[in-house]
Structure 1
Amino acid sequence: MSSPHPNAREQADFRRLWAGSVVSQLGSAVGMVALPIVAVIVIGASAFQVALLAALTAITTALLAFPMGRHVEFRRKRPVMIVTDLVRFAALAGVPVAAVLGALTFTHLCVVAVVNATCLIAFTAASQAHLKALVSAERLIEANSRLESTRWLTITVGPSAAGALIGLLSAVGALLVDAVSFLFSALAIRTLRTPEPDPPVRDAGASRRAELFAGWRFASGHPTLRRILISWVTFVGGNALASSVSAVFYLRDLHFETWQYGLLMGVPSLGGFIGARLAPRLVARLGAVSALWGASMLRGPWYFLIPAAAPGTAGLLMCGIGFGMVLLFAGAANSTMVSYRQLETPDELMARVATLWSFATTATQPLFILLGGLVATWADARTALFAAAGLMCVAALLLPRRGGVTGRWR
């Protein structure tokens, strides 16, 4: 029997990868809710310990992003993805076992958090590098659109699914579900049939320092990617600044009920899902850089509706519409940005450039969170949110309007 048409095989392989991504992301959404609950309920962790548990992810990413990018770059990507999935399964499955044996400690949970963060860095670097080899350039924006839309969908339904599972199985049992999701992801990757290309060959004359920061040198030397990275960090910074005070604004200043706050944290993420699915059409019509510029210009202004809102139903609608529209254009911009970055980055730098984005995001967010707290203390939460909206708008102004590769990706 002849082998399937390459395009059909490519599509089947991407569907397998996509299915694994859907399950593991839903599992991760469950675990993100369940882990701090386990810390509080099972071992009686203090507020500081719960905060430390959350901070370990950012600290691990900041410290290991560059070394992990270098490590992943020169290895086959599928084995890296499978191993990191299996390690995450083992780490998370160990929590219920330790809880049943009465041996679960805060140190154990900290180790799990660090292991998960480390594996996430490696998996993200490997998967973004491998996607470029798995699908054709013509289908890359569509592939990223689907993956990005899945991410937004899990943000919407994940916390609700986590709450239901925790109610049904307990927080410890929900972590077991999270663990099993990584087994499913590993199996999906294992079933890919398209031959994986050989990994890049390490330059024997390159120093360790040169290898570590090769992704940084490439991105900073690329006139378009450099501006996209600076804009991305600025926009993410605006989001971080807002996140540090939005809960106070919604609950204390606008007097929303907790269920209304929950709706605002979940339902607008459907905008991100819709925006991600619209990205291929925008790129086909405008080209990648112009589509990214346009989506980004339309992204930030909507956030001004939130600090302009007043208490009451009208204010709730303003906040929901504002947040949803921000996420709609953010979903379109994110899918386009990742696809453009993958196409512009040489194969031998894919993992290191991907981890550069992870590092830049994680390392700068705490600074903007602190800034948001300071502005809210000096003025008020509404002022801090206006500042965040302004920062999101500035991020779009930092982008080039045109540029990049030839054809429809201009």
Structure 2
Amino acid sequence: MRRDMTRDLAGERDFRRLWAGTTVSQLGSAVSMVALPVVAITVLDASAFQVALLSVIQAVTIVFVAFPAGRYIEFRAKRPVMIWSDIGRCILLFSIPLAAFSGLLTFAHLCVAALGNAAGQIASSGAAQAHLKALVPAERLMSANSRLESTRWLSVLVGPSLAGPLIGVLSAAGALIVDAVSFVLSAWSIRSLRTPEPPPPAREPSPSRRAELFAGWSFVRGHPVLRRMFASWLVFAGASAMATPLSSLFYLRDLGFTPWQYGLLMGLPSLGGLLGARLAPRVSRRVGLVRGLWWVSLWRGPWYALIPLASPGTAGLLLCGFGFAGVLFFSGLANSTMTTYRQLGTPDHLLARVSTLWIFATNVTQPLFIAFGGLVASALGTRAGLFLVAVLMCGSGLFLPWRSKDHD
């Protein structure tokens, strides 16, 4: 009994170390998300096409690397993968200000850094989600995911706000040093974990390399709950991506909000996501994982319908902020719950491949939804496009089952 208690306390301390490293890393990445295009524009005088190309490179890298990365990670110790992913991204990001201050920075250099950063993100995320299940007892997994999800929303809220002053003081290239240092701290936090990592799952006999590569997809497709959860997530994530350019046009052109008001709308409602993530364990304990996810998913979409109802002025600004915060509050609840069910419902030898499947599918479907939203807005107007976003968000919850025998 005493040994089990000591192990639980050690695991809790280790999770806190991991959580702290993740927090620092995500804040740093939020800074670099703003700083990298600024470097391209201010240092290299990049064109609009080149700036867009940086984002395209990252998305394409994720699409092509996700499945091979999941297969590679699955049968290896996860902590070394996470550490080396952090170190690799640190080196790439640190090389940008070094080259910029030396007058040797090129656009090709930025492209390589964007590619390597995306690959490292996939490897680190896939390994981390698989390792969390081994680090944290099943009964505490929901709480752990809740805390990690709240950190993600915190980085969305605080990171871009920090980027402006850092760029002003250090320059855009210098601000990337902050992200590079954050990866060092993240790697150190993983290296400091004391609970022994369990051995990786043994490679099971597979009829072909292709079957092994797509084993995560085969498992999700055959799982009665995860299959519907996956479909629901793709629709909601696609609708959210569709909303981003449409809402920007609506806020700035149709409603005439100023840049600082626009920035406020993009950042402050993230507090709703943070609060939702923190409340997720309480909701799941009360109604169960699957039923809880069903309820909170149904409540995400109606809030977004408030946004296209807004008119210019302060009242419209408040209505947009209130609607967006409502969507993010229920998204914070849903994301933590979905991640926990996925980890509990997936066998250990498939965890990395299922995690990278989610990343792959998100990056494939979101551009399609964005293009579709642009066509709708061009034909029917921005308000109609935003109402369609609300309908899709509401509809995404209908894919989910009401209940399940497992982990409910």
TM-score normalized by structure 2? 0.98
Determine the C-alpha separation between the residues in 2 that align with 1:194 and 1:251. Answer: 51
Quote the residue 2:244 is aligned against. Answer: 243
1:318 equivalenced with 2:319 (yes/no): yes
**Does the 8 A contact of 1:84 with 1:120 survive in 2?**
yes
Quote the residue 2:88 is aligned against. Answer: 87
**Does the 8 A contact of 1:128 with 1:351 survive in 2?**
yes
Determine the C-alpha separation between the residues in 2 that align with 1:109 and 1:324. Answer: 34
**Does the 8 A contact of 2:206 with 2:212 survive in 1?**
no
Quote the residue 1:298 is aligned against. Answer: 299
Quote the residue 2:227 is aligned against. Answer: 226
Quote the residue 2:343 is aligned against. Answer: 342
> Over residues 295-329 of structure 1, what are the superposed CA-to-partner deviations in whole Å (9 max), with x where a residue is unaligned?
10111100000001111111111100000000000
Kindly provide the amino acid, as one letter, of the partner of residue 63 in structure 1: F
**Does the 8 A contact of 2:277 with 2:329 survive in 1?**
yes
Matches within 5 A, 1:134-149: 134-149=135-150
Determine the C-alpha separation between the residues in 2 that align with 1:207 and 1:95. Answer: 41
Quote the residue 2:59 is aligned against. Answer: 58
Determine the C-alpha separation between the residues in 2 that align with 1:49 and 1:269. Answer: 29
Matches within 5 A, 1:8-407: 8-405=9-406
Determine the C-alpha separation between the residues in 2 that align with 1:387 and 1:404. Answer: 34
The SS at the match of 2:305 is helix
Q: Cα distance, 1:237 vs. partner?
A: 1.0
The SS at the match of 1:5 is helix
Q: Cα distance, 1:244 vs. partner?
A: 2.2
Kindly provide the amino acid, as one letter, of the partner of residue 386 in structure 1: F
Q: Cα distance, 1:207 vs. partner?
A: 1.6
Q: Cα distance, 1:100 vs. partner?
A: 1.5
Q: Cα distance, 1:395 vs. partner?
A: 0.1
Which 5+ residue runs of structure 2 have no aligned equivalent? Answer: none
**Does the 8 A contact of 1:61 with 1:359 survive in 2?**
yes
**Does the 8 A contact of 1:224 with 1:404 survive in 2?**
no
Kindly provide the amino acid, as one letter, of the partner of residue 17 in structure 1: L
Q: Cα distance, 1:204 vs. partner?
A: 4.3
The SS at the match of 1:307 is helix
Which 5+ residue runs of structure 1 have no aligned equivalent? Answer: none
Kindly provide the amino acid, as one letter, of the partner of residue 390 in structure 1: V
Kindly provide the amino acid, as one letter, of the partner of residue 377 in structure 2: A
Number of corresponding residues = 406
Percent identity, aligned pairs only, is 62
RMSD after superposition: 1.0
Moved more, 104-113 or 193-202: 193-202
Q: Cα distance, 1:54 vs. partner?
A: 1.0
Kindly provide the amino acid, as one letter, of the partner of residue 265 in structure 2: L
Determine the C-alpha separation between the residues in 2 that align with 1:384 and 1:204. Answer: 48
